[in-house]
């Protein structure tokens, strides 16, 4: 019940903070599109990462992710049509292309604050950007031990730590623990 109330609160706050009127059916359509796009991206990335982790361990998974995660995100983005865009963001990004822009940073910071205060995070957040333009956020949590291979204490795997530091000298995406907020999939929808 708390989760439903929190999601409703986030949606209400986003609507109240914006002067544009949104219809419930428009919000429902945005949620459906956001759920479809984020699920497609997470299935594609997660399945491929798991396959590479099982076949070649953390080094192969890192190589795959650093070489293909961005292009896989672009492929999902393109598959959703011209009125939808899909990306991944994080406050502690590895690749600067995943840095949050504008209000995205405030949304992630709010989610982090909620989590730090013991609040169960919503499954989704909808932000009204403008007349007929919305952003759907799917929070990403570190919910598998495998994620910690590249995003936890990487110094436990010196070869991997070295590869990450060489490829991403300004890497911020380490030091996570189980259930930490990693970032979000953001789906921008134009209605």
Domain that residue 44 falls in? 2-190
Sign of the Cα torsion 137, 143, 147, 151 reads positive
- Separation CA 184–CA 21 (nearest Å): 25
Number of domains in the chain: 1
From first to last of the 191 residues of the chain, give the pLDDT tens digit: 444 445 444 544 544 455 567 789 999 999 999 999 999 999 999 999 999 999 999 999 999 999 999 999 999 999 999 999 999 999 999 999 999 999 999 999 999 999 999 999 999 999 999 989 999 999 999 998 888 999 999 999 999 999 999 999 999 999 999 999 999 999 999 98
**pTM for this entry:** 0.87
């Amino acid at each position: 019940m708390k989760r439903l109330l929190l999601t409703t609160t986030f949606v209400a706050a986003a609507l109240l903070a914006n002067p544009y009127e949104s219809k419930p059916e428009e919000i429902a359509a945005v949620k459906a599109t956001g759920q479809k796009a984020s699920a497609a991206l997470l299935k594609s990335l997660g399945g491929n990462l798991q396959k590479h982790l099982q076949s070649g361990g953390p080094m192969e998974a890192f190589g795959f992710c650093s070489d293909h995660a961005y292009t896989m995100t672009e492929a999902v983005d393109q598959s959703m049509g011209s009125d939808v865009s899909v990306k991944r963001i994080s406050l502690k990004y590895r690749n600067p292309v995943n840095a949050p822009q504008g209000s995205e940073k405030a949304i992630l910071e709010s989610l982090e604050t909620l989590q730090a205060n013991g609040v169960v995070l919503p499954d989704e957040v909808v932000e009204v950007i403008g007349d007929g333009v919305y952003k759907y956020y799917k929070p990403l949590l570190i919910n598998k031990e495998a994620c910690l291979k590249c995003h936890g204490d990487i110094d436990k795997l010196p070869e991997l730590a070295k590869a990450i530091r060489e490829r991403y000298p300004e890497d911020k995406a380490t030091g996570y623990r189980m259930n930490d907020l990693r970032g979000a999939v953001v789906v921008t929808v134009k209605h």
